Amino acid sequence: MLTGRNSNMLTWTASDDNARVTTASRREWLRAGWLGLGALGLADLLATRARGEAPGIVRPGKSVVFLFCSGGPSQIETFDPKPNAPPEVRSQTGWLKSTVPGMEFGGTFPGLSQRADRLAMVHSFAHKTGDHVQAIEQVFQAGRRGGSSLGCMVSRLRGSTHPQTGLPTSVHLAAEEVDPQYSNEKQRMLSADSPAGLGPAFAPFRPEGKGELNQALQLRLPLERVDDRRALRSSFDRLQRESDARGLMAGLDRFEQQAFDLILGEGRRAFDLSNEDPELVARYDTAHMETGFKKFRPSALGRQLLLARRLCERGCGFVTIQNPGWDMHADSNNPGIVTGMEMLGRPVDHAVSVFLDDLAQRGMANDVLLVITGDFGRTPRMNRAGGRDHWPQLSTLALAGGGLKMGQVVGRSTPRGDAPASSPISLDHLLATVMHSLFDLSQLRLQAGVPREISRALEAAPPIAELVG
């Protein structure tokens, strides 16, 4: 049986032959796994992480999917093909007119060209960093290297777990690496997606990772025994309430239930694609398209985007998706532009097209903001080997949904596609636009307790005017 010896100590006794008496603090009981589900006790961890929430500023039901094309996608072969430029400058994969006058796409994006009314292209997006490591940090951390990433800021403001489902509010979906080159890209993105000074409680959840919340999600017993543990916890709670008039366990119920919900309920189901309509899974699937250079793997992008939709549906506020391989120099380690765009551009076109259709059919198009970008852009002039090299002076940026104004080109680039020809759109503008889609910024600026790092970042620039005006 269970008794309360004092306000901090609990004793458990049992009557079977293997029984023993254990006296421990409540936290030790949780750590031991009798009440909790993981090494630290998931319920305690959820309670701690939920304290970041700033109520009253969150736009209900809104999410962001951040599709990061690491390596640096060419601004020309994607969404600014320059058909009238000299042959060595214009898109090497051809170009496509779209359903919106004035919006043109590179030749590997036929699906998106037919959905142009749901997209906004930014032709004047730029920053100053041409090194992969530094550029990835710059973009993830909205121009503040060493600061917190966008996803971690969102987690800090929303609370890092959803109050109903227990689902993490920031999730990072890593790509399967196939050789050391892509492993490097993977680690760069994981390192850049950092909570920094906000604290580790607001780090993104990685389904394959080893962080605090990930460890807490790893069950220490078969699923069929969880009900037994739930019964044990119920008995523990009942007896403890009877014996502890001061309510030692008060306040734990909500987070214990969240723990079970996350592992056995909506949170667990969100990551299980076997629950999805098989026909829809097949529509999303890009596994028939191989990506890589010296080694190849089936493209996972379609399933990543399907998982992102499922996460957003259940309250995840920010989903980062890795899509590596865009460093198209045409050298001993990288493909050229034509080969690379066929390999990577077509899966993006296919998966994003299905994603946009799926959101529209579910009435979620205004609730989910998709951001497509990468490290930097690429040189306007082709190199002799058939590739393009690093070029941060003009970068790729496209957005879809989120309740923003779509079906337009924002800004202008020079005729050669080498620099903004109108006022540059910066990482500060991108940060403010993302935050605008998720939060009431006027209320956020008045909110007490917002970390100075976040409030200062939001003071740097307004959202992109053409998208929110």
Give the CATH number for residue 367. 3.40.720.10
Strand partners, 120: 399, 408
What pLDDT is stored for residue 43 in this prediction?
Answer: 47
CA distances (Å), origin 309, targets 28, 66, 303, 352, 410:
38, 12, 10, 11, 26
Name the domain count of the chain. 2
Residue 151 and residue 191 in one domain: yes
List, as one string, the DSSP characters of 334-385.
B--HHHHHHHHHHHHHHHHHHHHHHHHHTT-TTTEEEEEEES-EE-SSPPTT
Considering the domain architecture, whether residues 175 and 187 belong to the same structural domain is answered as yes
- Label residues 315-353 b or e (16+ Cβ within 10 Å = b): bbbbbbbbbbbbbbbbeeebbbbbebbebbbbbbbbbbb
Whether 118 and 406 have beta carbons less than 8 Å apart is answered as: yes
Looking at the structure, do residues 433 and 322 belong to the same domain, yes or no? yes
Q: Which domain holds residue 33?
A: 2-50+216-263
Hey, which residues does 12 pair with through a beta bridge? 2, 22
Residue 245: the pLDDT is: 46
Whether residues 92 and 115 share a domain: the answer is yes
Judge if 84 and 230 occupy the same domain. no
Can you list the residues of the chain whose pLDDT is less than 70? 1-55, 209-266
Same structural domain for residues 221 and 327? Answer: no
Same domain for 59 and 43: no
Q: Is 453 exposed, middle or buried (0-12, 13-18, 19+ CB in 10 A)?
A: middle
Residues 248 and 359 in one domain: no
